[in-house]
């Protein structure tokens, strides 16, 4: 005889460390799927105006960019070429001095191109600033940036942001390609996560 699983039990998942049941983190919707679609279309109109008559080279910064990049590039009217880069961050020390090394792979040839750097979340701005400087060193035609979410309380570097989807003081955001510990990437909306661990800074 098959036992019924109560709704209360179904909403919980086992804790890997202890085998006990842990409550799922609470979510508060910040931006609905309708609001996101509207904002993506508004951004696309701005970009089409700014790059009229040009070929736009969109460079997505993995992994938080993939849903936003797919939706944005599909509604752009200007010719688009897409690339992806993966940041590699290494912490090291020299004596008492703590150093951070940032690399992006694969390398993108930006010479003479109109480049749009696209990220899902702008937090400290350190890695985006590094990538902007790397692109500018190659003598491109232009370099601009676009981010879906800017966390206004976490900026450490005054990197230029030419296009921003939404600004929020929320500390942890998930959904629409943004995840946390392997969850929530597929949510059609953007939500604030409560009760999670602090994600890695970007």
In angstroms, what CA-CA distances link 8 with 4, 13, 28, 133, 163?
A: 12, 11, 20, 51, 43
The overall pTM is greater than 0.75: yes
Higher pLDDT, 19 or 23: 23
Pick the CATH number of 34-167 from 3.30.420.280, 1.20.1270.30, 3.40.50.2020, 3.40.1410.10: 3.40.50.2020
With contact defined as beta carbons under 8 Å apart, do 68 and 58 qualify?
no
For 109-165, how does the pLDDT look when each residue is reduced to its tens digit (9 = 90+)? 999 999 999 999 998 888 888 899 999 999 999 999 999 999 988 777 778 889 999
Q: Give the sheet arrangement for strand 80-94, strand by strand.
A: 97-105, 80-94, 56-61, 114-122, 142-151, 163-168
What's the pLDDT at 101?
A: 64
Higher pLDDT, 89 or 127: 127
**Domains of the chain, residue spans:** 34-167
The pair of three-digit structure tokens given for residue 4, joined into one six-digit string: 């019924």
With contact defined as beta carbons under 8 Å apart, do 167 and 20 qualify?
no
CA angle 55, 63, 74 (to 5 degrees): 35
Higher pLDDT, 41 or 180: 41
């Amino acid at each position: 005889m098959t036992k019924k699983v109560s709704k209360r039990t179904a909403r919980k998942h086992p804790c890997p460390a202890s085998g006990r049941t842990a409550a799922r983190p609470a979510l508060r919707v910040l931006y609905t799927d309708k609001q996101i679609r509207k904002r993506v279309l508004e951004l696309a109109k701005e970009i089409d105006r700014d790059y009229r008559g040009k070929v736009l080279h969109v460079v997505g910064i993995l992994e938080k960019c993939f849903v936003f990049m797919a939706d944005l590039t599909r509604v752009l009217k200007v010719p688009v070429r897409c690339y992806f880069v993966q940041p590699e961050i290494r912490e090291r020390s020299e004596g008492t001095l703590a150093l951070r090394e940032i690399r992006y792979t694969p390398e993108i040839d930006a010479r003479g191109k109109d480049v749009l750097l696209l990220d899902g979340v702008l937090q400290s701005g350190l890695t985006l600033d590094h990538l902007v400087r790397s692109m500018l060193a190659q003598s491109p035609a232009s370099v601009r940036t676009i981010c879906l979410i800017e966390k206004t309380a976490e900026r450490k570097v005054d990197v230029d942001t030419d296009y921003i989807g939404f600004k929020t003081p929320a500390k942890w955001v998930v959904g629409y390609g943004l995840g946390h510990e392997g969850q929530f990437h597929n949510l059609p909306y953007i939500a604030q996560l409560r009760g999670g661990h602090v994600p890695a800074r970007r």
